[in-house]
Copies of this chain bind each other. A is one copy, B any other.
C-alpha cells in the first residue's frame, strides 16, 4: 500500500499513448477501460470474473454508494475494495454527474448541491469537501474532483459560468483531498464544445495541479463528430505526462477514435447495461440476441472470442435464456461484452506499442463494416 502513484508512458503512436498507471492497489495498463461498478458490484459479474476479462481498474459511483449503503458504513466495513471483493484499483467519480441526472429537487449554490435521494427522497448534501471525504472513506485509489457536468447543449455563457464554478470546486477539491501514497486526485476539464473555454479550464486545472486529468462534459448527447472535434484539441491542452481520462465513453468506435487522439482511460456502462438488454458487442459490430434469427443458430456470438460465453454457449441458447428472462443471460452477455472491451483495449495497447495503430484501426473498421455473420 506504499506504492507512489505514477504514470509511465511506454510508447506513443501519433497522439496515442500506451503505458502504466501505478496505484496503491496495483497497476492499470493504458489505454484502459474501467467497467462500472455502480453500487458496489459490476452488475451480473463476480469480481474475479471481471478481473479475468483483463480489467485492471473498476469505477465506483459516489452518488449511489453514499445513498446506499452509505460511505461511513463502507468505511467501517473496511473500505470499498474489501466490501465488494475487488483487490485492484478503484476509481470513484465525484457524485456530481449523478446528482444532476438522477436526484430530485436539486439546489446548486456556490457551496455545493443539496438534493433528494432518488431512492427514499431524503435530503443529502454534496460539495467538493464532502465528495473528497466520501471518496476517502470509500478508499478510492483515484478520486475525482467535484464538478458540475455542464448540460448539453449549453450556450457559451452558460458553459463558461458552469466551467468556472467547476474550476473553483476543483481548487476546493484539491485542498480538501487527503494525500496518501498511491492515491491520486484527478481534475476534470469542462467547457462544453468551446475551444477557448476548454483551454481556460485546462489552464486552471494545471495551475492547481492534479495527478491526472479527465475530460468531462462529453458523451452527453453531442454526438461522435462533435466529441471527436473536441478531442482533436482537448487532450493537447492537458499535461502530456499525466493520464487523460474521457469520462462516460463509450461505444467501441468512440474509444478507438479517442485513443488515437490521446486518451488513456475510459469508463462506460455500455458493455454491462447492454449485456442485460440483449445487445452483444463483437468485432463485427453489435448483435441483438433477442432477434429470432438466432433461435436455431448453434454458433457462438463470435467464433474467435475466448470468453466463457463464446466458448460454451450457442446463439440459440443465449436467445432462449434471454427470452425466458433468465439471469444467466445477463451473466453471459455481460461477461462477453466486458471481455470484448478488454480485448479491444489490449489490441489498442499492442498496436500503439508496435507503432501499428493505423493498421489496427483500419482492420477494426473493416471487420465492423463487414457486419455480423450471415444467418444460417
Interface residues of A (CB under 8 A from B): 39-41, 43-47, 68-69, 73, 76-78, 83-85, 295-296, 298, 308, 312-314, 316-317, 319-321, 323-324, 326-328, 330-332
Name 25 interchain pairs, CB-CB below 8 A, sorted by A: A39-B320, A39-B321, A39-B324, A39-B326, A40-B320, A41-B321, A41-B326, A41-B327, A43-B328, A44-B331, A46-B308, A46-B328, A46-B331, A46-B332, A68-B324, A69-B320, A73-B295, A76-B296, A77-B314, A78-B298, A83-B316, A83-B317, A85-B312, A85-B317, A327-B331
B residues within 8 A CB of A85? Answer: 312-313, 317
Q: Which B residues lie within 8 Å of A45 (CB)?
A: 328
**Residue pair A327, B327 in contact (C-beta under 8 Å):** yes
Are A296 and B73 CB-contacts (below 8 A) given A317-B84, A331-B327? yes
Known A-B contacts A83-B316, A313-B85, A328-B46; A77 and B298 likewise in contact (beta carbons under 8 Å): yes
Q: Contacts A83-B316, A83-B317 given; 16 further ones with Cβ under 8 A?
A: A39-B321, A39-B324, A39-B326, A40-B317, A41-B321, A41-B327, A46-B308, A46-B328, A46-B332, A73-B295, A73-B296, A77-B316, A78-B298, A85-B317, A327-B327, A327-B331
Most buried by B among A41, A43, A314: A41
The docked-state distance in angstroms from the alpha carbon of A36 to that of B320 is 17
Bound Cα distance from A45 to B44, whole angstroms: 11
Q: Which of A295, A296, A313, A320 has the most CB of B within 10 A?
A: A320
A317 surroundings in chain B (CB, below 8 A) = 40, 77, 83-85
A334 → chain B, closest Cβ, in Å? 9
Chain B residue nearest to A43 (CB atoms) is B327
Residues of B within 8 A of A321 (CB): 39-41
Q: How far in angstroms is the closest Cβ of chain B from A48? A: 8
A321–B43 Cα distance when bound, in Å, is 10
Please indicate the chain B residues that have their CB under 8 angstroms from the CB of A312 in the complex: 47, 85
A69 touches B39 (CB 8 A): no
Residue of B whose beta carbon sits closest to that of A76: B296
Looking at the assembled complex, report how far the CB atom of A198 sits from the nearest CB atom of chain B, in whole angstroms: 36
Closest to A308 in B: B46
A83 touches B326 (CB 8 A): no
Closest-by-CB residue of B relative to A78 is: B298
Q: Least Cβ distance of A50 to chain B in Å?
A: 11
A69's contact among B73, B76, B295, by CB below 8 Å, is which? B295
CA distance A76 to B46 in the complex (A): 33
CB distance from A63 to the nearest CB of B (A): 13
Are B314 and A83 in contact, CB atoms less than 8 angstroms apart? yes
The distance from the CB of A323 to the nearest CB of chain B, in whole angstroms, is: 7
| Residues A73 and B316 in contact in the complex (CB < 8 Å), given A40-B321, A308-B46, A321-B40 | yes
